[in-house]
Amino acid sequence: MKKKSLLATFCSVCLCAVAITFVASATHEFVDGVVATVGREPILHSDVMHEIMPMLHELGGHAGTQEERARRVEELFKDALEQTIEYHILHREAETLGVEIPEDEVERRLAEMRKHYDSSEAFQEALKEAGHTVSAFRERLRRQMMAISVGMSRRRQFEREAVISESDIAQFYHDNVDEFRYSARYRVRRLFVQASNDPEERASVLASMQELREALVSGGDFTEAARERSDGPEAAEGGMIGWVLPGDLVEPLDSALASLSEGEISGVLETDYGVHLLKLEEVESEGVLSYEEARNQIEPILREQQGDERYRQWMNTLRRRSNVRVFL
């Protein structure tokens, strides 16, 4: 299939905002082909398209010209092809190492992908029109998860082995000092109580937390309450998180914090993990993090950079050994 015909087909599908199909012409005849090989193992056009099914599905709801959508589809396809090649190489490594993925983890990932569609039926229909069954797709996910497991393990290993000197950290701080400027920062305590999504349990925790908030607003000791009742890792420090910048906390905590005055306690806040109360101890406006404050942020960045460089070198070596060929 020619690329131009392919892109035009996908753009028309997205414009119609229907499930992704791999169609060659108005007859809806399925056409597939080999777009790359890893050793003797072929990578089909449909293999790559499975990677971008959810993204193409979402692309249909976005404004833009047909040419803009065509360019976006082409970018997605090229990126997904490289990712699929990497998955194949890493899957080989995973098989060699005897990596296994539990069935419940595969099912959880499959459920996440279904969320991109209006219903399970819509997801299954998209797979059917692509010429695949749910069981085949599940096995594909398992292979990818094996590959990802090996890739992440190697990345973590390379990051642990990275050698970061004090001069490296100081140089990064000097070269990127503007990155450590802030318009405001907050010194904050948190009281956190875990709660599942069970309606009854969550309602009980919410009611209990509301009573606690009323007691604290009336003069109770937030620090002691956090030590005694918080499930957060900072409980032993009286709930002291320390200085945070705008955007550091998840919503709705971040928005709530920005609306507090010094010494004020937030309302009861819910997240997927549980229920929270925040207390704003101090606020500073406009400044630059000192080297000592920035240091703990810089070292992980440098460690990640070195780890990523070694990972790419490792993947390039595997790629050469795997005799990768691309036919686009």
Give domain limits for the chain: 3-160, 163-173+291-317, 180-288
Nearest partner of 147 among 324, 318, 281, judged by Cα: 318
Six token digits for residue 256: 């709530």
pLDDT tens digits for 198-240? 999 999 999 999 999 999 999 999 999 999 999 999 999 999 9
pLDDT at residue 58 is higher than 80: no
Question: H helices of 60-198, where?
Answer: 66-97, 103-114, 120-129, 134-161, 166-175
Phi, psi of 239 (to 5 degrees): 80, 10
| Residues 6+ away with beta carbon under 8 Å from 70 | 7, 8, 10, 11
Six token digits for residue 298: 């810089």
Residue 37 CA to residue 324 CA, distance in Å, equals 6
Six token digits for residue 303: 């460690």
CATH number for 180-288 (one of 3.20.20.140, 3.30.930.10, 3.90.226.10, 3.10.50.40): it is 3.10.50.40
Q: Does residue 227 contact residue 191 with C-beta atoms inside 8 Å?
A: no
* The domain made up of 3-160 is a member of CATH 1.10.4030.10: yes
Residue 319 pLDDT class (50, 70, 90 cuts) = very high
pLDDT at residue 17 is higher than 80: no
Residue 250 CA to residue 281 CA, distance in Å, equals 19
